[in-house]
Amino acid sequence: MLLEEGATVNATDRDGRTAFDYTEPPGHPMDEQTQSMLREKGAITNQYAAQFLNEKLRDSVRAGDADRVYAALAKKADPNYIGKDGSPQTILMIAAENGNLEMVKTILKAGANPNRTMVGNDFSQGKTALFLAAGAGQTAIVSVLIENGAKVNVKQAASGYTPLILASMGGFPDTVKLLLEHGADPNAKDSKGRTAMAVADGARRSEIQQILTKAGAVGQIAPVYQGPVTGQASTPSNPAKVVQKVDSKKLTKTEWKKAYYNQFPVGSIVTVAKFRGVFGEPSREQTVESDAYWYFECKDGVIQVVLNDPNLLGSGACVQSINDY
């Protein structure tokens, strides 16, 4: 029954074993009938070959190599594969994040589950391909995912983010509108009690807020980000003055942190674009699993900035902590 319903023949468990590998359990007779059915559906009888094929599929998706993706899927590679190298993403998530519409369609057609969630730490746990597509403003991909059954009001447990909140946060009105048209809750709140209206950002912020209001959104409107300021608070009638970027090398670590919290009070939304608008590029970067580490040289040492990996989150909130290093 499962095979008739399109179950992935060569899906692997955490140890790289497939369903075929379980037809011959130690101490029990071989299930020849099941093996025969699996072979007819293209089962690979060598678990290591299956694992290699799945890894090849994922590498091809990352590289955007459509021909190799088609070839691997034709050989019954697992369209829901998550690698064993610490990556929390399925191949569908990778294709969605990369904006590869045709590849997303191909992977879905092969049987990928659009509601498969990320694994890993609190930051990644529970996110689907729709989160990545919405947070990156990939409206066409968002549409295809929804057409294939993606849930629009799914919520990431740790942050409370929904695809709509991420699309609004990233400043993508077309994506916001599409999600609302398919039933996204305009008043859903994240873990800090903020709605899509409260975190709306980007050059088309006003347009997003109008779309949300028309859809029934209520509550706080996000303050306009005015860029780096000196000594004067920003209000609608008294906009902050934009000044040059902060030069970390001219500041002590204490002065650097003071400049940061003057611009981004605790609880404020900090995107990569906003952060770079104040502090520019780091002197050094590194990525570990789902976290990015940026380093800024100051007069008396180094400041370490820990971010949710921008490659996973797109334009969403990024900065987690500021540390002496």
Residue-level pLDDT at 283: 86
Give the model confidence (pLDDT) of 21-80 as tens digits: 888 776 677 788 998 899 888 887 777 777 888 888 988 998 889 999 999 999 888 898
Domain positions in the chain are: 1-78, 112-222, 248-324
The domain made up of 112-222 has a fold known as 1.25.40
Give the model confidence (pLDDT) of 103-159 as tens digits: 999 999 999 999 998 876 656 678 899 998 998 889 999 999 999 999 999 998 878
| DSSP string for 81-143 | -B-SSS---BHHHHHHHTT-HHHHHHHHHTT--TTPPP-SSTTTTT--HHHHHHHTT-HHHHH
Cα atoms in the 13 Å half-sphere on the side-chain side of 74: 6
End-to-end CA distance of the chain: 57
CA 143 to chain centre: 17
- The yes-or-no verdict on residue 239 having pLDDT over 50 is no
- Under a CB-based contact definition with an 8 Å cutoff, are residues 53 and 68 in contact? no
Residue-level pLDDT at 105: 96
Note the pTM of the prediction, 2 decimals.
0.62
Q: Which residues contact 176 (CB under 8 A, 6 or more apart)?
A: 164, 167, 168, 196, 208, 211, 212
- The yes-or-no verdict on residue 188 having pLDDT over 90 is yes
